[in-house]
A and B are shown apart, each in its own frame.
Chain A
Amino acid sequence: MALPASNLNFNNHPNNDTSEEDEDWELLLDLESTLSRNPNNNSIQLILDNLEDFNQINQNYSVNNQSTTHLSNLLSTSNTNNTQNNDSEVLSKSDIQSLLNINDDYNVSLICPICNKSLFNNDSNAHSSILDPNIQSCCEKFFKKINKISSYKISYWFYFLNNHYKTITTFPNLTKSFFYSINGIPSQLRSKIWGLILGGSDKFGNLKNKWFQDLFNNLNDDNSPYLRIIINDLNRIFPNLHYFNNELNDGQLNLKKILNAYSIYDSEIGYCQGLPFLISILLFHFKNNSITFLSLTKIFENNKNKNFKKIFDKKMTGLSLWFYQFDSIFAKFLPDLYNYFDLLKIDSKIFLSQWFLSFFAVSCPFQILIKLFDLMILEGFQPTIFKISLIILKKNENLLLNIDNEDIEVIYQHLLSENIWGVFNNDLNLILNDLINIDNNLISFQALEDLEIEFNKKNVSIKEENKTINNNTNTSNTSTSGGYYESPFVKFFRYGFTNTVYNQVPAKNQNKPHTQSTDSITESSVDSNFDAYSVSSHSSNSSNSIKRYHQKSVSSVNNNNFNVNININGKHQLMSTLNSSNTSIITGPEPNNLNSFDNSLEYNEMFGSLPQPNLLKVGNNGHQKSSSVFSVNSSFSTVSLNPSTPTNFYEVKQKMKKQFKLKEMELKNQIESLDSKVQIFEQIIHDDKQLIKKLFKLYLKSSKDVDESKITEKQRIKEYKVLKEVQQRIQI
C-alpha cells in the first residue's frame, strides 16, 4: 500500500523502554521530521486551519520552530485548554494504557487490515468483545496485536490528550498519519479525541462547559415544535446498530433529548433530516447528551463551518453555494467525467444533495463512516465532505464513463446507492490512500472562500445578463413577472445558474472592491432598520451603479412583519410599473431574518425573488456599509433599472409613497368612523344610566308609598309599567 503513513513503520521502530518523557518527545519529533520530508507535507494545512478555528486562536504558531520544546513546556502551557480545574492534572501514561485496555463498543470500528473485514458482527458483540466464532486467523492475530499498542503510539496519544492543540501543531504530519491510517486512532480513545478537537469535553472526557448541562436540561423542559417529526425519525437512524435499534435503548432516548434541545436552541436550523446522522455518530461515541450537544454547537459556531450550518437551515440556503463550489472543484479535478456529465445533462445536485446532507451515512458502511468522521472532525466538515465526494467520483469514473449514453438513470442509480463504495471493495486503506493524495490546495479553506466570492459575483453578473436579455428580447423575466414566486432553490434547480441565486456575502469580504462597478453614488446613511434600494445601471461599455439606502421613512411601520408585507405589496406595484419599461426587479426579504416572518408569509411570496447582498455594497467611494447590516433584523428590496430611465426609480419611489399615503388615509378614515361609532355607543350608555337612576328614584319613592299603603290601583299599574321598562332597557 502506498499510504504515506506507512513511512512510519510502527512495529520496526526500536522499542523505547525509557521512561523519560522528554526522550519520547524527541522521538516523536524525529518521526515528525521524517514525515515532513514527504512531498505531501503541504497537505497538513487543512488540519492547522481547522484547528486554529476550533480553538479560536490567532497565534501564528510556527510548526518548524518546535525542536526544542520539552515536555515540561508542553504540560505547563494551558493556553488552549480552558479546562477550569483540570489544568494542573495530567493524564499519565498508565492512565492511557488502562484506557486502551477497556473493551467497549467502539470496537465496532475495528477492521482487520489484512482482509478488511469488520472484527465484530454487530455493536453489541463489539461491546462485550465477543469475537465471531468463525473469525479468520488474520483477524484474531490482529485483534491480539492491537491490544498491545506500541509504546510511542501511547506517547503520542499521551501528549495529544494532555494538550492536543500543541501536539497537533508540533506534529502535524504525525497527526495526519495517525488519522489517515486504519486503526490509527485507538478506538477506545476516539471519543476523547473527538471531544478535545471539537471542544465538547476535556481530556478526562468530562463536559467542558459545566453550565451546558443546565442549559441542556432547561431546553428539554420544553417540547420543540419539531418533536412529532423527531419522534417519527428516531427509529430511522442507524437501525442496524444495537444502540439505536430499540425505542427503549439509551440511544433513541438520548437522541430524542438532543434533537429536541437543539431544535429549540437553534431556531435557524430547528430540525433537519440528515442532521441526526451527525448527532447520532457523536452520541454513539460520547455516550453523553451534554457533551454531544456542546460539540454540536461548537461545530456550527465555528467560523470555518459557517456554510456547513447553512445547508441545514430552513431554506437550505447554503446548499446552492456548496453545489457551485463543488462543481468548480469537480471540473478541475476530474475534467473528463465532468464534461461527460455535462454532455448527458446529468444533474450533479441530485446525488450531491444526498451525499452532503447525510454525511454519506445513507450509503456508507458504518465502520468506514466512523473513519471518515475522524477526518471531518480533524480537517473540517466541508473540505472533507468535498474530498470524499471527489474520490468517490474518481474511483467510479471508469465505470461511469463506460455506461451507454442513454442510460442516465443507471448513473443516477449507481451514485445514489451503496454501490459507490463497491469500487473500494470495502477497503478502507484504498479510501484513505485516495483521500490523502488529493491536492489539498483544491479544497483548502482559502480556495473555498475564493469560490464563494466568485459565486456571489457570478450571481450579480447573471442578474445583469438577465436584465440585458430582458432588454433585448423585450420579454419579461419569468421569475419576476410570473404569477407566483419560487424559492431561490426551486429556481436554482429549475434553471441552474441562468437565474439569480441568493447567497450571502461573507462579512469579511464586504471590504473587497467590486469588480464591475466603477462609479457609485451613495445616498444617506444606513440605519439598523432600513429599506435599501439599489439601482445598478448597465450599458455595453461601462457599468455604473447607484446605490441608495433609503432610511425607513414611514415612522408608523416598526413591526418587521408589517414591513415585509409592505415590501411585497410594493413589489407587485413595482412590477406593474417596471415591466413596461423593460427592467427587472429583484426584491426580497433579508435572508438572515427569515425566521421572524416565516409564519406570516406564504413560502413563495417570501422568496419572490432574490436579494443580492452584493448590490448593497457601496463601491469605491470609501463609504463602506458595515457588515452588521447582515445581522440586523431588517428587510430590504433591491431594484435594478435601466440606465436610460434613471428617473423611473424616483417615479417608483413616488408611487410607493403615494400608495403608503393612500393606505394611511384609508386607515385614518376607518379609525374616524370607528371613533364616531364609539361615541354613539357611549351616548347610549350614558342615556341608559340616566334613565336607570331616574327609575330607581321613582322606585324608592313608590316603595315608600307601598309601605304607607297609600297606593292606588292606578299607581300600581304605573309602577309596574316603569319596572317593565327598566327590565327591557337592561336587557337591551
Chain B
Amino acid sequence: MSAPRSSIASDTPRFAQFKLVLLGESAVGKSSIVHRFVKDQFDEFRESTIGAAFLTQTVLLPNNITIKFEIWDTAGQERYKSLAPMYYRNANCAIIVYDITQESSLEKAKQWVKELQRQANQDIIIALAGNKLDLAESDPSTRKIKKEDAFTYSREENLLFFEVSAKTGEGVKNIFQSIAKKLPIDDFKPASSNANLRNSRHNLGVDLSRSSINQSSCNC
C-alpha cells in the first residue's frame, strides 16, 4: 500500500465497523428507514419485523474513512422488548425512531432512551429520529409532535436529532452520516490491516430473491 503509515495522515484509508441498533414503537418506520439507507428503496407495505432483521451498509466520510454499520433492526411491539437487550448489547450507536404523526410514539422513544442510558454501552451514541415527515409536509394537521418539543428533549438528553421521511428519503442518510462523524475516530484502523472490509463483501453465493412467487418463466 502506498499510503504513508508513519502517522495517521488525513488521506490514509481507514476503516471501522460499528454496531447500530434501531429501536422504537411498532409501525413507526424503523425497517423503512433502514431499507431507505441500505437499498435506497421504499415499500409502502412492508411486513412487520419479527424478532429482528440484520443489514449492513458502509458510509464514506471525508479523509478516506470508511465506516461499516452493522444494523440491527428490531421488532417494535411491547412484548418483544424483552428480546431487545440481545440486539443492543455492545451496540456503538442507536437510532430511536418515533412517528411524528403518532403522539404515543415519542413517549415510547423516551423509554428506550432511558433504557439505553441505563443498560447499554456507556458511550453509546443515540440519535432520535422523527419519521413520516412527508405526511406532515403534505398535510400539516397530521403532525402530532412538534419539532421543537422533540428537539428540546433531545438537547436535554444529549441526543442527535432529526426529522426524516423514509418514503421520500429526506434526511435519512444524514442520520447515519452524523452518527458516523461522532463515532470515536481513534478506533479507526488503516483499511489495509483489516480483513473485515473484504469479508463483508463475502457473499454466500446464494441470492434467492423473495420474488420467486412472481417468477413467470421456468428454465427447464
Q: CB distance B208 to A413 under 8 Å?
A: no
A121 at the interface (CB under 8 A from B): yes
Minimal beta-carbon separation of A507 from chain B (angstroms): 25
Q: CB distance B86 to A357 under 8 Å?
A: no
A577 at the interface (CB under 8 A from B): no
Q: CB distance A403 to B202 under 8 Å?
A: yes
Minimal beta-carbon separation of B11 from chain A (angstroms): 26
Q: How far is the CA of A240 from the CA of B43 in the complex (A)?
A: 11
Q: CB distance A115 to B82 under 8 Å?
A: no
**Chain A contacts for B122, CB-based, 8 A:** none
Q: How far is the CA of A412 from the CA of B56 in the complex (A)?
A: 11
Q: CB distance B27 to A406 under 8 Å?
A: no
Q: CB distance A365 to B213 under 8 Å?
A: yes
Q: CB distance B205 to A399 under 8 Å?
A: yes
* Interface pick from A414-422, A553-561, A667-675: A414-422
Interface size on B, residues (CB 8 A): 51
Q: CB distance B217 to A236 under 8 Å?
A: no
Q: How far is the CA of A368 from the CA of B214 in the complex (A)?
A: 13
Q: How far is the CA of A229 from the CA of B210 in the complex (A)?
A: 26
Q: CB distance A409 to B56 under 8 Å?
A: yes
Q: How far is the CA of A528 from the CA of B43 in the complex (A)?
A: 54
Q: CB distance A236 to B219 under 8 Å?
A: no
A333-357 at interface with B (beta carbon < 8 Å): 347, 349-351, 353-355, 357
Tell which of A138, A272, A273, A399 has the most Cβ of chain B within 10 Å. Answer: A273
Over the window 116-133 of chain B, the binary record of Cβ atoms lying under 8 Å from chain A Cβ atoms (1 yes, 0 no) is: 001000000000000000
Q: CB distance A273 to B196 under 8 Å?
A: no
Q: CB distance B219 to A423 under 8 Å?
A: no
The residue in chain A whose Cβ has the minimal distance to the Cβ of B73 is A416
The residue in chain B whose Cβ has the minimal distance to the Cβ of A402 is B204
**Chain A contacts for B215, CB-based, 8 A:** 117-118
Q: What are 14 A-B contacts defined by CB distance under 8 Å?
A: A114-B220, A115-B220, A117-B219, A229-B27, A232-B27, A236-B47, A238-B47, A239-B45, A240-B213, A245-B45, A350-B86, A362-B50, A365-B210, A410-B200
Over the window 482-512 of chain A, the binary record of Cβ atoms lying under 8 Å from chain B Cβ atoms (1 yes, 0 no) is: 0010010110011000000000000000000
B76-132 at interface with A (beta carbon < 8 Å): 76-77, 79-83, 85-87, 89, 118
**Chain A contacts for B213, CB-based, 8 A:** 108, 118, 122, 240, 365-367
On whether A117 and B45 interact (CB within 8 A), knowing A229-B26, A347-B86, A350-B51, the answer reads no
Minimal beta-carbon separation of A3 from chain B (angstroms): 19
A517 at the interface (CB under 8 A from B): no
Tell me what chain B mostly uses at the interface: helix, strand, loop, or mixed.
Answer: loop
Partner of B52, one of A118, A366, A416, A489: A416
Q: How far is the CA of A205 from the CA of B118 in the complex (A)?
A: 55
Q: CB distance B202 to A273 under 8 Å?
A: no
B53 at the interface (CB under 8 A from A): yes
Over the window 219-249 of chain A, the binary record of Cβ atoms lying under 8 Å from chain B Cβ atoms (1 yes, 0 no) is: 0000000000100110111111000010000
Contacts from B to A (Cβ < 8 Å): 26-27, 43-56, 70, 75-77, 79-83, 85-87, 89, 118, 195-196, 199-200, 202, 204-210, 212-220
**Chain A contacts for B202, CB-based, 8 A:** 403-404, 407, 410
The residue in chain B whose Cβ has the minimal distance to the Cβ of A484 is B118
Q: How far is the CA of A365 from the CA of B210 in the complex (A)?
A: 6
A315 at the interface (CB under 8 A from B): yes
Q: CB distance A422 to B218 under 8 Å?
A: no
**Chain A contacts for B87, CB-based, 8 A:** 350
Minimal beta-carbon separation of B149 from chain A (angstroms): 22
Q: CB distance B53 to A416 under 8 Å?
A: yes
Interface size on A, residues (CB 8 A): 74
**Chain B contacts for A412, CB-based, 8 A:** 54
Q: How far is the CA of A112 from the CA of B216 in the complex (A)?
A: 12
**Chain B contacts for A314, CB-based, 8 A:** 79
Q: How far is the CA of A365 from the CA of B213 in the complex (A)?
A: 7
A409-454 at interface with B (beta carbon < 8 Å): 409-410, 412-414, 416-419, 421-423, 425-426
Over the window 242-275 of chain A, the binary record of Cβ atoms lying under 8 Å from chain B Cβ atoms (1 yes, 0 no) is: 0001000000000000000000000000001110
On whether A136 and B77 interact (CB within 8 A), knowing A350-B51, A362-B50, A489-B82, the answer reads no
A375 at the interface (CB under 8 A from B): no
Contacts from A to B (Cβ < 8 Å): 108, 112, 114-118, 121-122, 132, 134-136, 138-139, 229, 232-233, 235-240, 245, 272-274, 276-277, 314-316, 347, 349-351, 353-355, 357-358, 361-363, 365-367, 399, 403-404, 406-407, 409-410, 412-414, 416-419, 421-423, 425-426, 484, 487, 489-490, 493-494, 603
**Chain A contacts for B76, CB-based, 8 A:** 273
Minimal beta-carbon separation of B50 from chain A (angstroms): 4
Q: How far is the CA of A541 from the CA of B217 in the complex (A)?
A: 71
Minimal beta-carbon separation of B8 from chain A (angstroms): 23
On whether A413 and B218 interact (CB within 8 A), knowing A315-B82, A422-B208, the answer reads no
**Chain A contacts for B49, CB-based, 8 A:** 362
Partner of A362, one of B47, B77, B82, B208: B47
The residue in chain A whose Cβ has the minimal distance to the Cβ of B50 is A358
Q: How far is the CA of A354 from the CA of B87 in the complex (A)?
A: 13
Tell which of A134, A355, A493 has the most Cβ of chain B within 10 Å. Answer: A493
Q: How far is the CA of A652 from the CA of B39 in the complex (A)?
A: 60
On whether A349 and B86 interact (CB within 8 A), knowing A235-B45, A399-B204, the answer reads yes
Minimal beta-carbon separation of B208 from chain A (angstroms): 4
**Chain B contacts for A132, CB-based, 8 A:** 216-217
Q: How far is the CA of A731 from the CA of B110 in the complex (A)?
A: 49
Q: How far is the CA of A414 from the CA of B184 in the complex (A)?
A: 29
Q: How far is the CA of A316 from the CA of B51 in the complex (A)?
A: 12
Minimal beta-carbon separation of B113 from chain A (angstroms): 16
**Chain A contacts for B216, CB-based, 8 A:** 121, 132, 134-135
The residue in chain B whose Cβ has the minimal distance to the Cβ of A125 is B216
Partner of B27, one of A233, A358, A487: A233
Minimal beta-carbon separation of B157 from chain A (angstroms): 19
Known pairs A135-B217, A353-B51, A404-B195; list 9 more (Cβ under 8 Å). Answer: A132-B216, A136-B220, A229-B26, A232-B26, A236-B45, A357-B50, A362-B49, A403-B204, A493-B85
Q: CB distance B212 to A426 under 8 Å?
A: yes
